[in-house]
Amino acid sequence: MNQSRLLSTLAALPLVCAVSVTTAQEPEPGWAKGRPKTDTAMKMAPVPAFPIPTAADQLPTKKFKLPPGFKVETWASGVLDAREMRQGDKGNIFVSTLFVGNKVYAIPEKAKDGKREPKVIIDKTEQATGIEFNKGTLYFATHKKIVRYDNVEDKLDNIGEGKVLTDKLPGGSDHSWKFLRIHNDKLYYPIGAPCNICDPGEYAKIYRMNFDGSGVETIASGVRNTVGFDFDPKTGNLWFTDNGRDWLSEEFPNDELNVVTQPGKQHFGYPYCHQGNMPDPEFGWGKSCDDFQKPAALLGPHAGALGLKFYTGKMFPAKYQGAMFIARHGPWNRTKKYADVMVAWPDGKGGAKIEPFMTGFVENNGYLGRPVDFLVMKDGSLLVSDDHAGAIYRISYGK
């Protein structure tokens, strides 16, 4: 080989190597951004729900532990990927799903022959998660749009196309699923951060709109990913759970319990500050955690805190009336697993006291079930959905 040909060949080698490396790499999913390249961390990934519901006689119901006087039973089984729950005026319980189900069910409140059969009313719809019910209307949100179905309980066999309130939601896969809640004739919904950690732009906020899709307003900013919020019946303040960023460590940061006291004016820290006192190693430079709203309480490292519901029933003891129930779905990027239901009480000073309420979802460091959302029934009992096992449990109280 002469000198000129040798030089040409050597010059081309970096380009050939670069092309082969680039084509060999798969795009990194958003949840993996920031993941350490250690053997332990590289084995961690989001925990998928079971592809079929757990059989009724195999559910972990008998393993759950609650405070004295409370009991838990299986209210419905065979509810694949059960997520959010809302009750209609005519006794139907609407249940949404996420990655596995891609559907919305209607389940009758009253059992027939000892069973409740979920009826699919929306099917084959990506991220069919956000639901709310108000005055005969079912509101339904995917990661791309929000739709309303009027008089839905009169046409469960075919609810039709519905009226689109907005189809301008950004979509995507990271933290794009929705949670809906209605308060004072406004529909509230989040747009989560499109990543584990990044500059979120117009993402990472809680919004509200009128029932016709108009009048969109920002209610809270710096909210990485909330999939559970509710309004304090005493003060009207919005309380929400927020999932902390991943991959800083197994023990930090904590998920947060937050309260909105000045709608539209508060920033809750993401991506600059986590758990109220931990500047982000990438985005926290030049920022102070004191510039952002502090959490009302910390909910545990990588807790996967999801549903939040104020208890408005009368069945439970006075201690629990006006308290919040919070579902800790459980971590996936943490070696030691945990999942449970917590109960929290506002302290009147912007904070909250928290204690365990329902445990038994984990055995031998593996998930038997994972709680997601709550529904207070008319008799005062509390339903808890479990997307991992595909079931709904009923908690009641009686001496």
Each residue's pLDDT tens digit, 49-86 = 778 999 999 999 999 999 999 999 999 999 999 999 99
Helix (H, G, I), strand (E, B) or coil at 362: strand
Dihedral sign, Cα of residue 52, residue 53, residue 57, residue 60: positive
Each residue's pLDDT tens digit, 293-333 = 999 999 999 999 999 999 999 999 999 999 999 999 999 99
Each residue's pLDDT tens digit, 28-48 = 788 888 888 888 889 888 887
- CB of 178 within 8 A of CB of 170? no
- The Cα 14–Cα 8 span in angstroms is 11
Output the DSSP codes for 110-133.
Answer: S-BTTB---EEEE-S-TT--EEEE
Identify the pLDDT of residue 20. 37
Q: Are strands 119-122 and 181-183 parallel, antiparallel or unpaired?
A: unpaired
Q: What counts of helices (H) and strands (E) characterise the chain?
A: 2, 28
Is the pLDDT at 210 greater than 90, yes or no?
A: yes
Domains of the chain, earliest start first? 33-397 (2.120.10.30)
Helix or strand run (H / E) with residue 9: helix 3-24
- Tell me how crowded residue 52 is: count the other CB atoms within 10 A of its CB: 10
Cα–Cα separations (whole angstroms), residue 339 to 44, 349, 357, 359, 375: 17, 28, 11, 7, 19
Identify the pLDDT of residue 50. 77
Each residue's pLDDT tens digit, 219-257 = 999 999 999 999 999 999 999 999 999 999 999 999 999
- CB of 205 within 8 A of CB of 221? yes
- The Cα 164–Cα 146 span in angstroms is 6
Closest among 119, 194, 129, 187 to 153, alpha carbons compared: 119
Identify the pLDDT of residue 51. 85
- What is the reported pTM? 0.91
